[in-house]
Amino acid sequence: LEEKLLQSQKMEAIGQLAGGVAHDFNNILMVIMGYGSMLRNDPSLASENREQVERIMEAADKAAQLTAGLLTFSRKQVIKTQTVDLNEVIRRVEKFLSRIIGEDVQLKSQLPEHPLPVEMDSNQIEQVLVNLATNARDAMPRGGLLTVTTSLQRIDQGFVDANDAGSPGPYAVVSISDTGLGMDEATRRRIFEPFFTTKELGKGTGLGMSIVYGIVTQHGGFINVYSEPGLGTTFKIYLPLSPSAFEAAEALRELEHPR
């Protein structure tokens, strides 16, 4: 338990630092991009300089994506939430996920009949699924299986799992499993840190999982990771069930008194 506390304090500190830097850096970028686009739109700009301005804008754009990722990690991004069925979000992105993982990886999804209403920013939850699928693909260079399932789970006071736990209550859970390379303990402990990557230079930014972390925690949720080197990895994302939705009550009744 003490280690978990230390871990979450560490993430909090990294988040503060990253968020502060990203925020200030973003303001500087806005100046660069503002003057850049003025130059770009200037009809008197010599054609031989046009290419150079485009390069500057491209680089600034990349930098802006980076800072956006850091801001998401540090929960400095505003989110707009609505009650949405988690299963519906998964159905919506399934085709896209298949495209990400490619032909050598098979996608299998298993979603329950009843809806799982969650107060969420569905664009951000889609982003979570996309980032996880991208990593799964990279972990299965020789093909494999990606399994996506959802369920309803009650977290009790005494709930202690692999590496994290939220406050007690009902949660919608999405579990994403790959049959890939897996990770060792030392890697698993660091995957949510921004810029942590085990991929070769230029392949990974190390921001994917920190974005996942930022989005899930901003939704009041938490993540558990189970991984076995050589066997594969399972991410379990817990999102609080919408307290206001009628469907939530229905789904809960189903959980407690299965027909």
Among 166, 169, 204, 220, binds ligand ADP (CB under 6 A): 204
Bridge partners (DSSP) of residue 108 are 147
Q: Which of 187, 75, 79, 89 has the alpha carbon at shortest distance from 129?
A: 89
Decide: is 199 part of the binding site for ligand ADP (CB under 6 A).
yes
Decide: is 105 part of the binding site for ligand ADP (CB under 6 A).
no
User: Which residues 160-189 are close enough to bind ligand ADP by CB under 6 A?
Assistant: 178, 180-183, 187
In which region does residue 217 sit, left (phi positive, over 0), alpha (psi from -120 to 50) or beta (all else)?
A: alpha
Q: Which one of 16-24, 29-37, 93-101, 197-205 is the stretch in contact with ligand ADP (CB under 6 A)?
A: 197-205
Q: What is the C-alpha to C-alpha distance for residues 252 and 256, in angstroms, rounded to an integer?
A: 6
State the binding string over 14-53 for ligand ADP (x if CB under 6 A, else -). ----------------------------------------
Decide: is 143 part of the binding site for ligand ADP (CB under 6 A).
no
**By the 8 A CB rule, do 108 and 150 touch?**
no
State the binding string over 223-252 for ligand ADP (x if CB under 6 A, else -). ----------x-------------------
Q: What is the C-alpha to C-alpha distance for residues 112 and 252, in angstroms, rounded to an integer?
A: 13
* Collapsed DSSP state (helix, strand, coil) of residue 74: coil
For residues 153 and 198, which CB has a smaller minimum distance to ligand ADP in the complex? Answer: 198
∠ Cα 137 174 75 (to 5°): 85
Using CB under 6 A, list all residues that contact ligand ADP: 131, 135-136, 139, 178, 180-183, 187, 191, 196-199, 204-210, 233
